[in-house]
Amino acid sequence: MIEHKLKISAHYAPEILERILRVSRHRKFLLRKIEVNQIIEKNDIFIKLSVHSYKPINLLVTQLMKIFDVFNVKIEN
Amino acid sequence: MNGAQWLVKFLIQNGVTEIFGYPGGAIMPFYDALYKSKLKHLLFRHEQGAIMAAIGYARASNKIGVCVATSGPGATNLITGLSDALLDSVPIIVITGQVDSKLIGTDSFQEVDILGMSLACTKYSFLVNSIEDLQKTVNDAFYIAKNNRPGPVLIDIPKDIQLKKICSNFNYVIIKDKKSLFINKITDAKNIIMKSKKPILYIGGGVFISKATKEVRKLSYISGIPSVCTLKGLGVLTSNDYYYLGMIGMHGNKSANLAVQRSDLLIAIGARFDDRVTGKIDTFAPNAKIIHIDIDESEFNKIRVSDICLLGDIKYLLSNLYIKPDIISWQNEITILKKKYQWNYNYIGKKIYAPFLLKLLSEKININTIITTDVGQHQMWVAQHIEFKSPNSIITSGGLGSMGFGIPAAIGAKIAKPSNQIICISGDGSFMMNVQELCTIKRRKIAIKIILIDNNRLGMVRQWQELFFCKRYSETNLDDNPDFITLSKSFGINGHSISLKEEINSSLEILLNYDGPYILHVIIDELENVWPLVPPGSSNENMIEKKYD
């Protein structure tokens, strides 16, 4: 298993965390750590996500980018 | 004007002419706005029927299908349809009523968190939180459903918001795509194609969705590259394309599977390396390089690592790939394979052999006929033995494999294409799953034809029990089926039953020429299997074939 860190930028929606966590779980990336910051004046949200998996992290990145609210996913390591 | 009235007006202004649904408490303001409006509504007898009709409509017309239901059970009954549309990339909009905003979260009557439930089975979903959000939400929903890789979008609207007054001077901001679409690796792809000695075009459902049938046919013609297709790629190429080998996969043509296994280059076009296609993935096309062409980046390297990924609109990308590699010896090998593994329709005895019936049907129907299917043995026989002339002439539940899909999808297809012949081919298991929609056919006198292939069994499961579970036939006996013709006649649908070979020809003529809906009930041997078959977990070259007497 390899640990990966992602920085995700998204428009805020009440269920955005559920969407991100569901996709991560379903695509077999297990959650290790999560940090969430909402920028209220911009209605944006920034999420730092640590996941581990046997799969290449790009497979998760492309799935997360399909979420309508997500506008950027950056691999940190 | 209230929110519900605006929504009806929006649908009409955006070219929606007919919607499919079922009313209930939380969606009553919308149904009130619908009353005597220009927007037609077809009432189904179950929400699953309504959403599958919306899918059939969308797939027949390549336009957005719209479905409406109430909150709670109305909404939960849509889940299978949403999943079906997601897996088959079908653009539909699903509007659900929700309990009043102030009651959300109180476990009130017919309240469910459909937004939460929908996260896994929609491309996107919205809960409208205020009347001010309604217009942007609906606009976004239509954009998301149709653009890039299409899919289902759900809009959940609380009843109080449907009733609130709306300001209609809304200016919609066009959504910008997150990424540039085209990655220019065309030259690399061309080089690989020109060096290949054994290339294959592997054609999937994305070709029809991106309206690239003409481009694929041109590529096949100019390049002379042999081709195979998936269940959803049927009809893109036809027997007129000399090196086309038909469907690959678990119940594909043996020639198609062998060709792929021997290939040195697989050009996957709008296809996703589904497990029913590849068999054991480690042994799938073991010597082939992969060029993968798709609009959805997440499909790249998901199942099989590609050498070249071309991201973007297939229609555009293919028009840059019209080249002719030197592959004469490969073409000769393909020709030999194609001749060696043709279908055999010899069948001893008086009973009806479903593949023969379907082949005969295929010869009788015209080019505009649309076939819908349910799921099971009959579905695979349809894929094998009916020759489709265009990709929207088969509407089947490919990804999800939803039994009960055939009848409502046929209704939706007939609404989309009223002048086309629409035939639903079903099995006795599937037929009973949405049998209530015979009443929908009756209500509007919808002239679809149904061929019900009946073996008194859940045939595909029974086949697997025979082959892989030591003939332990657990819960697959359906010999308590109703009398299907009496049942159909109770819904005002005429029909007749046949069980002998000699009855096939005249019965198909009656079916095809009948003025109105008609059902042909075809009784077949309960032990008949679909051949050939790649056993689960096996490589595609290890197909089990029918033993002829």
DSSP letters for B255-277: HHHHHHHH-SEEEEES----HHH
- A63–B contact, CB cutoff 8 A: yes
Work out the minimum CA distance from B311 to partner chain A, whole angstroms: 12
Work out the minimum CA distance from B27 to partner chain A, whole angstroms: 23
B159 is catalytic: yes
CB atoms B298 and A63 under 8 Å? yes
B405 is catalytic: no
Mean pLDDT of B323-343: 96
Work out the minimum CA distance from B333 to partner chain A, whole angstroms: 37
CB atoms B120 and A22 under 8 Å? yes
CB atoms B178 and A65 under 8 Å? yes
B211 is catalytic: no
Q: Find the farthest-apart pair of alpha carbons in chain B and give their distance in angstroms, rounded.
A: 74
Listed residue (B22, B9, B11, B87) closest to B50, CA to CA: B22
Dihedral angle, C-alpha B406, B408, B413, B419, nearest 10 °: 100
CB atoms B301 and A26 under 8 Å? no
Mean pLDDT of B391-406: 97
**Of how many residues is chain B composed?**
549
Mean pLDDT of B54-59: 98
Q: Which residues of A touch B116 (CB under 8 A)?
A: 15, 18
Q: Which residues of B touch A68 (CB under 8 A)?
A: 123-124, 140, 144
Establish how many alpha carbons lie within 13 A of residue B339's alpha carbon, considering only the half-sphere containing its beta carbon: 5
CB atoms A26 and B124 under 8 Å? no
Q: Is the peptide bond before B532 cis (omega within 30 degrees of 0)?
A: yes
Reported as a pLDDT band with limits 50, 70 and 90, residue B405 is very high
- A71–B contact, CB cutoff 8 A: yes
Beta bridge partners of B2: B165
Mean pLDDT of B84-99: 98
- Radius of gyration of chain B measured on its C-alpha atoms: 24
For residue B328, give the 3-state DSSP assignment. helix
Contact indicator for B405, B353 with CB cutoff of 8 Å: no
Work out the minimum CA distance from B32 to partner chain A, whole angstroms: 30
CB atoms B120 and A66 under 8 Å? no
Contact indicator for B163, B33 with CB cutoff of 8 Å: no
Q: Which tokens sit at B229?
A: 């297709």
- B301–A contact, CB cutoff 8 A: yes
Q: Which tokens sit at B498?
A: 């046949």
Angle at B18 between CA B15 and CA B22, to 5 degrees: 135
- A25–B contact, CB cutoff 8 A: no
Reported as a pLDDT band with limits 50, 70 and 90, residue B545 is confident
Q: Which residues of A touch B144 (CB under 8 A)?
A: 68
One DSSP character per residue, B161-185 reads HHHSB------PPPPPPSS-S----
Q: How many CB pairs under 8 A join A and B?
A: 32
Question: Beta strand A44-53 with A2-11: parallel, antiparallel or unpaired?
Answer: antiparallel
Distances (CA, A) of B58 to B19, B63, B320, B417, B445: 11, 5, 29, 11, 21
- A54–B contact, CB cutoff 8 A: no
- B113–A contact, CB cutoff 8 A: no
**Phi, psi dihedrals of residue B299, rounded to the nearest 5°:** -80, -20
CA distance B245 to B229: 8
Consecutive H or E run containing B411: helix B406-416
Chain segment B344-376, per-residue pLDDT in tens = 998 889 999 999 999 999 999 999 999 999 999
Q: Which residues of B touch A19 (CB under 8 A)?
A: 119
Residue keyed to tokens 């006198």: B445
* Catalytic hit among B109, B165, B324, B469: B109
Q: Which residues of A touch B120 (CB under 8 A)?
A: 22, 26
Mean pLDDT of B452-467: 97
Q: Which tokens sit at B1?
A: 């004007």
CB atoms B120 and A18 under 8 Å? no
CA distance B409 to B394: 11
Which residue of chain B comes nearest to A67, CA vs CA? B124
CA distance B549 to B546: 10
Reported as a pLDDT band with limits 50, 70 and 90, residue B184 is low
Reported as a pLDDT band with limits 50, 70 and 90, residue B169 is low
B247 is catalytic: no
**Phi, psi dihedrals of residue B41, rounded to the nearest 5°:** -130, 135
Could you count the other beta carbons within 10 Å of the beta carbon of residue B287?
Answer: 11
**Phi, psi dihedrals of residue B119, rounded to the nearest 5°:** -60, -35
pLDDT at B178: 53
Lowest mean pLDDT among A40-54, B90-104, B429-443: A40-54
Alpha carbon B174 to chain centroid, angstroms:
30
Residue keyed to tokens 């592997």: B202
CA distance B426 to B401: 13
Chain segment B259-307, per-residue pLDDT in tens = 999 999 999 999 999 999 999 999 999 999 999 999 999 999 999 999 9
Identity (one letter) of the amino acid at B262?
R
Could you count the other beta carbons within 10 Å of the beta carbon of residue A18?
Answer: 14
Q: Which of A56, A63, A68 is opposite residue B124, by nearest beta carbon?
A: A68
Identity (one letter) of the amino acid at B344?
N
Strand ranges for B265-369 from DSSP E: 265-269, 289-294, 308-311
Consecutive H or E run containing B370: strand B370-373
Work out the minimum CA distance from A2 to partner chain B, whole angstroms: 17
**pTM exceeds cut of 0.90:** yes
* Catalytic hit among B52, B247, B250, B460: B460
Ranges of chain A whose pLDDT falls below 70: none
pLDDT at B182: 54
Q: Which of A22, A58, A68 is opposite residue B144, by nearest beta carbon?
A: A68
- B124–A contact, CB cutoff 8 A: yes
B109 is catalytic: yes
Contact indicator for B392, B372 with CB cutoff of 8 Å: no
CA distance B434 to B156: 25
- Between helices B504-513 and B354-364, what is the axis angle to 10°? 40
Contact indicator for A52, A2 with CB cutoff of 8 Å: yes
Consecutive H or E run containing B395: strand B394-395
Whether residue B533 has pLDDT greater than 80: yes
Q: Which residues of A touch B119 (CB under 8 A)?
A: 15, 18-19, 22
Q: Which residues of A touch B123 (CB under 8 A)?
A: 66, 68
DSSP B548: P
Query: Strands across the sheet with B494-498, in order?
Result: B394-395, B370-373, B422-427, B449-454, B518-523, B494-498
Q: If 0-12 CB within 10 Å is exposed, 13-18 middle and 19+ buried, where does residue B38 land? A: exposed
Distances (CA, A) of B549 to B163, B276, B349, B480, B546: 69, 29, 11, 31, 10
Residue keyed to tokens 């920085």: A7
